[in-house]
Structure 1
Amino acid sequence: MNKDIENKINTIKESIDISNRPKFPKRAVVTAGMPYGNKELHLGHIGGVFTHADTFARFLRDRIGKENVIFVSGTDCYGSPISEHYRQLVSSEEFEGTINDFVQYNYKRQKEVLNLYNIDINLFAASSFGHSSEIHREVSNEFIQKLYSNGHLAKITTSQFYDTDLNVFLNGRQVVGQCPIEGCSSEKGYADECSLGHQYMPVDLINPKSTLSGKKPEMRDVTNWYFKLDSFHNLLEKWVEYLEGIPNCRPSLIRTIKEFLKPPVIYVKKDQLDLLNSIQDKLPKYTLQDENKKSSFMMVFDDLEKRDKACLLLAEKSIRFRTGKTLVPFRLTGNIEWGVPTPSIEGIDNLTFWVWPESLWAPISFTKTYLDQLNNQNDAWKEWWCSLDSEVYQFIGEDNIYFYGLAEMAMFMATQDKELTIHPSEGQLQLPNLISNSHILFLDKKASSSGKVKPPTARELLDYYTAEQLRSHFLGLSLGIRSASFQPKPFNPKALEKDSDPVLKEGNLLTNVLNRVARSCFYTVQQYYNGRIPVGNISDEVLYESYQTILEFEKLMYKYEFHTIMNLMDTYIRNINKGWVKNMKVADENEDSKLRSQVLIDAFHGLRTATVLMHSIAPEGTEMIREYLNLDEKFWNWNRIFQTIYDFMDNPQEHSLKFLEPRVDFFKKHPSQIV
């Protein structure tokens, strides 16, 4: 690099505060939840989780090196939702084959859609078949035995729903009723959790009904292993206090976790007060709190045991009540046949893992599987999950905060051999970073493939939009702050022909603005400079804006503020285009070759910066730009983010760009959008 240019760049860099740049780990694991194996990917999977996880993983690969990032996910193959769906399809003769055939069929469809959306995942595995299933069984056995040996399991006998017509125990989705949790808006409550993820004891489900016979089931005793989640209250409170001091932890995550750290509560309607008073001498000690203008009051208990005893007494007297959110023992096992078998502990055999706990440690299994494919040694996974030099980033939907934010964190702490802490030492399972997104609403209503509102599938959207248009739009939806409405014009019956398509707002930045800048740069170089970028000093103001944008982009990515990133890039890319239009017009009108060269020098620097920053968001188009710049993969390296495009050329004076044919687009529109 010319010494004068280097001094000028250093002077500009010194004028920007780079002392507080965010710190990223040496190694990172990124996960994206696990879609159930009973259907293909829906809108929420791609738009609410996978796009964000993939964008962050791609950024980290550029930021800390692709060899230092592992992105894993997989199909959640087990659980009653899958076995029940499979049973229904076989019963209606819509599917032939085994249940494993069924999940393999859906796994293949899920993987196809991920590829179509350019989700660059190191391993998309499955929990019930392939090498990943073998490792997952090993990890599951080791995990429960570790929890048992450390004294964090309880053997609890509870009542389970039993269908007397069919003489079978009912699991999960085979029972439907009304969620007993106060204030829950779920449309369906299942055996021990509702569709919004609230946990409760089966006996508390309101108006239960068997989905197999349609009859009201009875309760029969079963014995299972439970994790003592309620004993981790103090540690989880400390963990939340720690999260509140972290600049990149979303407030909604903390707020939801806190809801479950409240004391055990029962809500009773005020018109039931006389009945409650009639059994005062039998109830355990509690404090009565009036909810003012609400129709119920709260019975607040010191511990869960007292609350559960009170629940039984209230139920005996037919007093209507609901329980509040609080920590309860977290069930690990069940008797559903379709599940990961559990090891024999204290002579209790023939159990399988409940799907939620085994899905929480499944990313560890998948990491081990991926490293095993690379012929790494068996304990290599610990460098990624148990090292202070590594971080785990888990992208989830807000419905699953209970499982990841409470159960997973407590179980990971429970694997520690010494005094439990929220700051595990080297070699212990580290606590992951959770990035929770709110719901994507379809036409202003909650989108659910099993609900009344049927949104298009992720695959169907690609009949009207390109993957990069959709990726950009999903990132711009502000899901880190609130639920947002997805309103694709082709699927909106209320949309008028004259109306613009909201989904194309962010995509137009690519297909119209950035595409125009890139094409203009290449075609102008081909017309006037024999396919070579003129060499010269980049304007101070252009360098300054690029550095500011780079630093802000890095800060926003650290905080997972994807929607703000899209706003930042909108401003930056449009400024590049404005500078081009304004200055090149003057150069052409005055036939000013010197000005034309300067405009090109500045525009290519802006294009270089925009291309690197947008690489994680729109990988296909940006990779095409790099290809036509005739530069290698070092172009993406964030260790060189402040360097100019000339620094990647062996000889800038002689470096030729790849020839761009007429009417070739770097960022393409979907064929249906071309009139």
Structure 2
Amino acid sequence: MKSLLTSALPYANGPLHLGHLAGAYLPADIYARYLRLMGREVLWVCGSDEHGAAITLRAKKEGIDPRDIIDKYHALNKGSFEALGISFDYYHRTSAPLHHETSQEFFTKLLKRGDQFEIKTTEQYYDPEANQFLADRYIKGTCPNCGSENAFGDQCENCGKDLSPTELINPVSTISGAKPELRETKHWFFRLDEHETWLKEWIQTGKVDGVQLHDPKDWKKHVVGQCMSWLDGGLMPRSITRDLDWGIQVPDAPGKVLYVWFDAPIGYISSTKQWAIENGGNWEDWWKGDDSELVHFIGKDNIVFHCIVFPAMLKAHGEYNLPVNVPANQFLNFEGDKFSKSRGWGIELQEYVEEFKDFPNSEDAIRWALIRNLPEQQDADFTWDGFTEYHDKDLADKLGNFINRVTVLTHKYFGGRVPEGAHTQVQSEVTEAVYKIGQDIEAFRFKDAATSFVELASFGNTYLQDAAPWSLFKANPDDPAIAETMYHCAQIAAALALTCTPFIPFSADRLRAVLNQIPATNGDWQLAMDTLAAGRPLLPSGHELGEAGVLFPKIIDRKDDSRNAIIQKQRDKMAAVLAAKTETDAAPEQEAREAFKPEMTFDDFLKMDLRTATILTAEKVKKSSKLLHLTIDLGSEQRSVVSGIAKHFTPEEVVGRQVVCVTNLAPRKMAGVLSEAMILMAEDGEGKLVFVSPPTGFGNGWTVR
């Protein structure tokens, strides 16, 4: 069975950070390396997404050509991946001619079917100052779902709601700041609604047309939950063209380009094609037929596109395989806050590579810290303290210390050669551990696999300490238990050197060199399992070991502070960012503010009915991490309100608060709960929310003017 793996195409408009690595690339690398070690046929493709609106927006602001931006960041990010051991089989780019051809052919095939597109003339926002139609990401406004004033025309990044530009409240152009005008334009809409029935069955049961394609129990709950939330809300035709001059031209439609979320996933196909051209393969062998399976590695913000939109495109085209799994990760934060380039909060991949170049095992140190804290089921937090602890306790104290002791003692007692031994319960423990690590990886439980690996290293240390061959040798140098102990320790060491390969590949090569083995290659994991199952040793008696020395110099070391100094430099940067924030908070008149909205008339203002109220009850909305369901007292009546503040306040924190509400908004349902008003909040530059409240003791239902 062939395994075709994809990772989300990163935008080539800036450097990637650790959160990106932990989301779609490091998990895929672990999985790809493991499958190769099992002897499977693997093709892992990725590449730069170079047609996003963010790229053209940045180019316009900087007065340069978009090509200058994508060339710079394609090379930068590709180099960062390579430096950190991300083992793509091919890393393509969507600006390549082959990708343009592939996307246009895909579009044309669907167009010729006659039932997959509808062409509609619609009203779209137009910037009268910039003299151009606005793509979704060129428009910002207030989210109708959660009230965030920084929602884009395609999605609110605060609550995750998928939007269309016309749903935004008080929209403005991000290009000029002007209020956009609605003008007529023609676009192609993909009939996503026609795919709703089979998509729902496929997500829930894994079946399409009665054929079992995957086991839904193998999919992460948050992936299925997000998909069903979308499907239960009903699918609508989705525009897949834009009025832009940067992108893939729609055939026979001057001035129109394919929407980036239509062409980007096709990049997986064009990347496979380019790999096949350069390696003498057949790309269709990987995308079509029963002997190949497709797995998408993404972050949670891309779930809908990879589980609903792209599968619908593939099925509409015909012949293409659907993904058997989409093991999307949640988000990784940095030291308790979101990564932010503008605030200098976090660390970029290239920055890490450069600043940690003198740090021993730097590539694997960051890989290991991220693996031990992957955001697989919920958001996680990277900290430098955690980085230090995982390195020193796991890699230095447990793994490195064990390998060093085994080689030193084997040289001391047996001239460096593995002594005679027999299969015992220790070998059974090793066999079970190797199997368990592999099973966890196959099930996309990478944190569990890493934990099992650490447990194997701990088992080795405990076994060696309890057996105490140095004490046995002191009492009787010819005691056969010494040979038995060192024989089993050699087997544990060999298992560790093999099973760490998917996690810390650079160190794995060094460990195997210490054991006088060549680097692990395709099929070696399967060979090891077969060897262990047959009761044979991974390192036979008489095999000569090398010498280890200090494999993982500790960060916290009283004799050498150089490695901790590198970490301290990062902590100092954080302190500077926090100090700057504190200083800015102390002088708010100097802090940058969001641009003022276009003016309105006094009559427009009088249309808003603002009232004081008190929150009586609060509870979390089911299947939503961002919404709270509130009951408010308006003096003369009580109302139900749904507010997107769950990530800022617990239900207990808001009960009893006095607030100001907009009471004459049309009622609407959010996540199935009726909302009959909107709570007013103030938001600072860091996204922190505070209630707009009347003075303590003020009555409910009074008008705010």
Partner of 1:241: 204
Partner of 1:232: 195
Q: Secondary structure at the match of 1:159?
A: strand
Partner of 2:111: 148
User: Which amino acid is 1:159 matched to?
Assistant: E
Q: Secondary structure at the match of 1:30?
A: strand
Partner of 2:381: 485
User: Which amino acid is 1:45 matched to?
Assistant: H
User: Which amino acid is 1:613 matched to?
Assistant: T
Return the alpha-carbon distance in structure 2 between the equivalents of residues 571 and 469 of structure 1: 18
- When the two chains are superposed, the root-mean-square deviation of aligned CA atoms in Å is 2.5
Whether the aligned pair in 2 keeps the contact of 1:486 and 1:503 (CA below 8 Å) is: no
Query: Identity across aligned pairs (percent)?
Result: 24
Aligned pairs for 1:49-198 (under 5 A) are 49-65=24-40, 68-90=41-63, 98-128=65-95, 133-150=96-113, 151-180=115-144, 182-183=145-146, 188-195=150-157, 198=161
Whether the aligned pair in 2 keeps the contact of 1:446 and 1:453 (CA below 8 Å) is: no
Q: Per-residue CA shift, 1:25-69, capped at 9, x if unaligned?
A: x2111222111111011122112221111111111111134xx11
Q: Secondary structure at the match of 2:217?
A: coil
Aligned pairs for 1:330-409 (under 5 A) are 330-344=238-252, 348-376=253-281, 380-409=282-311
Task: State yes or no: 1:528 paired with 2:501.
Answer: no
Q: Per-residue CA shift, 1:172-207, capped at 9, x if unaligned?
A: 332211223x348x6632233333664333211111
Partner of 1:200: 163
Structure 1 residue 646, shift from structure 2 partner: 6.8
Whether the aligned pair in 1 keeps the contact of 2:464 and 2:485 (CA below 8 Å) is: yes
User: Which amino acid is 1:637 matched to?
Assistant: W
Return the alpha-carbon distance in structure 2 between the equivalents of residues 208 and 161 of structure 1: 9
Whether the aligned pair in 2 keeps the contact of 1:40 and 1:107 (CA below 8 Å) is: no
Return the alpha-carbon distance in structure 2 between the equivalents of residues 120 and 251 of structure 1: 28
Structure 1 residue 530, shift from structure 2 partner: 2.6
The one of 252, 255, 260 equivalent to 2:222 is: 252
Return the alpha-carbon distance in structure 2 between the equivalents of residues 441 and 358 of structure 1: 29
Structure 1 residue 642, shift from structure 2 partner: 4.1
Aligned pairs for 1:226-625 (under 5 A) are 226-243=189-206, 245-263=215-233, 326-344=234-252, 348-376=253-281, 380-416=282-318, 427-449=319-341, 454-462=345-353, 463=355, 466-489=362-385, 501=386, 504-505=389-390, 508-538=393-423, 540-583=424-467, 584-593=469-478, 594-625=480-511
Whether the aligned pair in 1 keeps the contact of 2:2 and 2:293 (CA below 8 Å) is: yes
Whether the aligned pair in 1 keeps the contact of 2:121 and 2:186 (CA below 8 Å) is: yes
Whether the aligned pair in 2 keeps the contact of 1:226 and 1:330 (CA below 8 Å) is: yes
Q: Secondary structure at the match of 2:398?
A: helix
- Cα 1:655–1:611 change in 2 (3 A) is closer
Return the alpha-carbon distance in structure 1 between the equivalents of residues 389 and 352 of structure 2: 12
Return the alpha-carbon distance in structure 2 between the equivalents of residues 234 and 138 of structure 1: 31
Q: Secondary structure at the match of 2:500?
A: helix
Return the alpha-carbon distance in structure 2 between the equivalents of residues 544 and 86 of structure 1: 60
- Cα 1:166–1:473 change in 2 (3 A) is same
User: Which amino acid is 2:170 matched to?
Assistant: N
User: Which amino acid is 2:225 matched to?
Assistant: R
Whether the aligned pair in 2 keeps the contact of 1:37 and 1:107 (CA below 8 Å) is: yes
User: Which amino acid is 2:464 matched to?
Assistant: W
Structure 1 residue 256, shift from structure 2 partner: 0.4
TM-score, L = length of structure 2? 0.72
Q: Per-residue CA shift, 1:266-307, capped at 9, x if unaligned?
A: xxxxxxxxxxxxxxxxxxxxxxxxxxxxxxxxxxxxxxxxxx
Structure 1 residue 337, shift from structure 2 partner: 1.0
User: Which amino acid is 2:312 matched to?
Assistant: A
Whether the aligned pair in 2 keeps the contact of 1:179 and 1:189 (CA below 8 Å) is: yes
Structure 1 residue 388, shift from structure 2 partner: 1.4
User: Which amino acid is 2:369 matched to?
Assistant: H
User: Which amino acid is 2:292 matched to?
Assistant: S
Tell which has more relative contact order, 1 or 2 (C-alpha 8 A, sep 6+).
Answer: 1
Partner of 1:643: 531
Unmatched segments (≥5 aa) in structure 1: 1-25, 91-96, 264-325, 417-426, 490-500
Q: Per-residue CA shift, 1:576-598, capped at 9, x if unaligned?
A: 11111221343244244422211
Q: Secondary structure at the match of 2:294?
A: strand
Partner of 1:665: 551
Task: State yes or no: 1:39 paired with 2:36.
Answer: no
- Cα 1:471–1:502 change in 2 (3 A) is closer
Q: Secondary structure at the match of 2:188?
A: strand
Return the alpha-carbon distance in structure 1 between the equivalents of residues 259 and 45 of structure 2: 21
User: Which amino acid is 1:191 matched to?
Assistant: G
Q: Which stretch shifts more, 354-363 or 143-152?
A: 143-152
Whether the aligned pair in 1 keeps the contact of 2:437 and 2:450 (CA below 8 Å) is: no
Return the alpha-carbon distance in structure 1 between the equivalents of residues 116 and 321 of structure 2: 16
Q: How many residues align?
A: 541
- Cα 1:449–1:433 change in 2 (3 A) is farther
Structure 1 residue 674, shift from structure 2 partner: 8.0
Whether the aligned pair in 2 keeps the contact of 1:155 and 1:226 (CA below 8 Å) is: yes
User: Which amino acid is 1:400 matched to?
Assistant: N
Return the alpha-carbon distance in structure 2 between the equivalents of residues 162 and 394 of structure 1: 36
TM-score, L = length of structure 1? 0.75
Structure 1 residue 567, shift from structure 2 partner: 1.9
Whether the aligned pair in 2 keeps the contact of 1:621 and 1:667 (CA below 8 Å) is: no
Q: Per-residue CA shift, 1:369-428, capped at 9, x if unaligned?
A: 11111123xxx1111111211111111110111111110111111112xxxxxxxxxx54
Return the alpha-carbon distance in structure 2 between the equivalents of residues 43 and 327 of structure 1: 34
Q: Secondary structure at the match of 1:445?
A: coil
Structure 1 residue 111, shift from structure 2 partner: 1.3
Whether the aligned pair in 1 keeps the contact of 2:141 and 2:151 (CA below 8 Å) is: yes
Whether the aligned pair in 2 keeps the contact of 1:28 and 1:70 (CA below 8 Å) is: yes
Whether the aligned pair in 1 keeps the contact of 2:365 and 2:387 (CA below 8 Å) is: no
Return the alpha-carbon distance in structure 1 between the equivalents of residues 346 and 180 of structure 2: 33
